[in-house]
């Protein structure tokens, strides 16, 4: 009995491997023989500081990437406009190919505070496991020695997003070494300003439409699902911001002498914000939801099929309740949100004094879904503020304005973006991507859009193409904060996914 059970355990992974497409199996075999050089190249790339605003070092990264691609026979060069970090472009032309697939990742990273890191952010450090699980520093293994399943590389950019670049370039090596025939032209675009919101990407692409043209852009950024299952996003939300300030008297007033008489802006602001949502957490700003492109049956089904992680998340995050219950997180991120980012009025704690504050400010962000116009949405919120009896100004109100209107609100608009995009899951090319990812990695979590933002509209608008997000990093990669890391197995898995996608 015991022996049979053991054999079963051994047989199951082997049969899964056998079910994988040949291209992914070949990539795995190739990778297993080349782990040391892959890790060596990855380490070298991570050693170059990449904070977006550190333009000199960002440039070094870009030049290094050009060299890495040229070594592989990929035609590569930097594409930029005045004042921007370059986009690293690369191309593999496949004779007779009828379509082109572009692969996007970014090589810049978030700022670092070295004092918070266990090891310096630009000294890539391999550990046997995550720091949380007592991972110890280990050397790069000698050639032919596999790493443990939980080994991780610690460095800024390891998870977000140089791992994606490394997976793509290693996939090219694997495809070459195994003589895999490609069917599409392959393009690469590595963004150097993603962590700053890709402010120049649209302009760079618009100025080089022909160069960047592709039937599909596969965006490799962000983590896979918390369950470690593969994840495919077909869009992203956009974000637009608004700051609202309401006023009491010209300056703070003694609360004993003037309370009950001088209007209290903190209370006014609380009432104004409360008026924006009903008791079921729905936004009641008029027409807020009016232009939303509804989810298709396929998209609804995909949300229903997503693993239910809400209870576990609540436990982890110390939450006794969630908004819009019983709707789940996977569904709620496909709806727009109106969020108070922060509020301030007067002081609290040791700084509190007995005053009626002079003003109160709320910082609001609105996450937009497909169909919503960013500027029109701001307009609608402003109209709602008017309907609550406020005289709305878009510059700091002077004495005259404040004297002549009972309620004054100063609204500062954040710069509106291009809006949210979402690629229909039913598109044949989208279905093809799903099929490939699932054939390599098993059933994927498929979500119509991610909750956050990526520069998808910046790509789709100038090029008239579609985008699909296929991330590879581990969900606990500490992206954007200290001790960022990549679980090496995610890189290995990512190589197989990228090789399969490149051969589509």
Per CB under 5 A, the list member of 26, 160, 460, 484 interacting with Zn ion is 160
**Judged by CB, which is closer to Zn ion: 195, or 493?**
195
**Judged by CB, which is closer to Zn ion: 242, or 454?**
454
DSSP string, 172-209: HHHHHHTTPPP-SEEEEEEES-GGGT-TTHHHHHHTTH
CA dist., res. 445 & res. 227, Å (int): 9
Among 45-53, 139-147, 155-163, 201-209, the segment contacting Zn ion (CB under 5 A): 155-163
Among 76-84, 117-125, 216-224, 367-375, the segment contacting Zn ion (CB under 5 A): 216-224
Among 213-221, 284-292, 371-379, 417-425, the segment contacting Zn ion (CB under 5 A): 213-221
**Cis before 337 (ω within 30):** no
- Report, in Å, the least distance between residue 107 CB and Zn ion: 10
Per CB under 5 A, the list member of 41, 108, 161, 299 interacting with Zn ion is 161
Listed in order, strand segments (DSSP E) in 64-202 are 75-79, 87-92, 100-106, 125-127, 152-154, 185-191
Pattern 388-427, Zn ion, x by CB under 5 A: ----------------------------------------
Nearest alpha carbon to residue 240 among 374, 361, 362, 420: 374
Secondary structure of residue 362 in the 3-state scheme? strand
**Judged by CB, which is closer to Zn ion: 242, or 469?**
469
- Report, in Å, the least distance between residue 467 CB and Zn ion: 14
Q: How many CA atoms lie within 13 A of 236 on its CB side?
A: 22
Count of Cβ atoms closer than 10 Å to residue 62 Cβ: 25
**Judged by CB, which is closer to Zn ion: 232, or 276?**
232
Measured distance between the N- and C-terminal CA atoms of the chain, rounded to whole angstroms? 44
Stated as kind and residue range, the H or E segment containing 67 is helix 55-71
**Judged by CB, which is closer to Zn ion: 303, or 486?**
486
- Counting residues that bind Zn ion (by CB under 5 A) gives 3
**Judged by CB, which is closer to Zn ion: 220, or 408?**
220
Contact between 484 and Zn ion per CB under 5 A: no
- Report, in Å, the least distance between residue 222 CB and Zn ion: 6
Contact between 460 and Zn ion per CB under 5 A: no
Please list the residues that pair with 90 across neighbouring strands: 76, 188
Residue 212 · residue 458 · CB < 8 Å: no
- Report, in Å, the least distance between residue 325 CB and Zn ion: 30
Per CB under 5 A, the list member of 173, 191, 221, 252 interacting with Zn ion is 221
What is the binding site for Zn ion (CB under 5 A)? 160-161, 221
């Amino acid at each position: 009995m015991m022996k049979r059970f053991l054999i079963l355990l051994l047989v199951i992974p082997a049969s899964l491997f056998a079910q994988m497409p040949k291209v992914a199996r070949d990539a795995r075999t190739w990778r297993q023989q080349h782990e040391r050089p892959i890790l060596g190249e990855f380490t070298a790339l991570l050693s170059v500081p990449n904070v977006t605003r550190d333009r000199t070092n960002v440039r070094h990264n870009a030049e290094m990437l050009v060299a890495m691609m040229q070594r592989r026979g990929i035609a590569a060069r930097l594409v930029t406009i005045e004042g921007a970090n370059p986009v690293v472009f690369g191309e593999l032309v496949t004779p007779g190919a009828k379509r082109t697939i572009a692969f996007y990742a970014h090589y810049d990273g978030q700022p670092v505070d070295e004092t918070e890191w266990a090891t310096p952010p630009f000294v890539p450090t391999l550990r046997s496991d995550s720091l949380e699980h007592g991972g110890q520093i280990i050397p790069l293994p000698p050639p032919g020695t596999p790493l443990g399943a939980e080994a991780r590389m610690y460095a800024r950019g390891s998870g977000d997003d140089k791992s994606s670049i490394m997976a793509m370039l290693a996939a090219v090596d694997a495809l070459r070494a195994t003589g895999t025939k490609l069917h599409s032209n392959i393009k690469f675009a590595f963004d150097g300003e993603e962590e700053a919101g890709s402010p120049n990407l649209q302009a760079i692409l618009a100025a080089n439409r022909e160069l960047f043209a592709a039937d599909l852009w596969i965006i490799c950024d962000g983590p896979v699902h918390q369950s470690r299952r593969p994840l495919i996003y077909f869009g992203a939300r956009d974000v637009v911001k608004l700051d609202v300030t309401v006023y009491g008297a010209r300056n703070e007033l003694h609360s004993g002498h003037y309370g009950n008489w001088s209007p209290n802006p903190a209370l006014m602001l609380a009432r104004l914000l409360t008026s924006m949502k009903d008791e079921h957490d729905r936004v009641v700003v008029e027409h807020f939801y009016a232009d939303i492109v509804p989810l298709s049956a396929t998209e609804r089904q995909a949300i229903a099929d997503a693993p239910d992680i809400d209870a576990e998340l609540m436990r982890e995050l110390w939450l006794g309740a969630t908004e819009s219950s019983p709707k789940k997180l996977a569904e709620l991120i496909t709806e727009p949100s109106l969020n108070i980012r922060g509020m301030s009025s007067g002081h609290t704690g040791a700084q509190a004094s007995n005053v009626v504050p002079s003003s109160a400010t709320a910082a609001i962000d609105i996450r937009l879904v497909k169909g919503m116009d960013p500027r029109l949405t701001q307009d609608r919120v402003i109209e709602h503020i008017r309907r609550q009896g406020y005289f709305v100004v878009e510059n700091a109100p002077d004495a005259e304005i404040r004297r002549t209107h009972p309620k004054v609100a100063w609204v500062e608009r954040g710069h509106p973006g291009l809006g949210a995009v979402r690629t229909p899951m039913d598109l044949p090319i989208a279905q093809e991507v799903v099929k490939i990812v699932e054939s390599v990695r098993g059933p994927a979590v498929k979500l119509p859009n991610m909750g956050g933002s990526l520069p998808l509209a910046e790509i789709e608008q100038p090029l008239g193409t579609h985008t699909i997000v296929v991330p590879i990093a581990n969900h606990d990669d500490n992206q954007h904060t200290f001790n960022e890391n990549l679980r090496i197995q995610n890189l290995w898995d990512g190589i197989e996914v990228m090789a399969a996608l490149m051969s589509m």
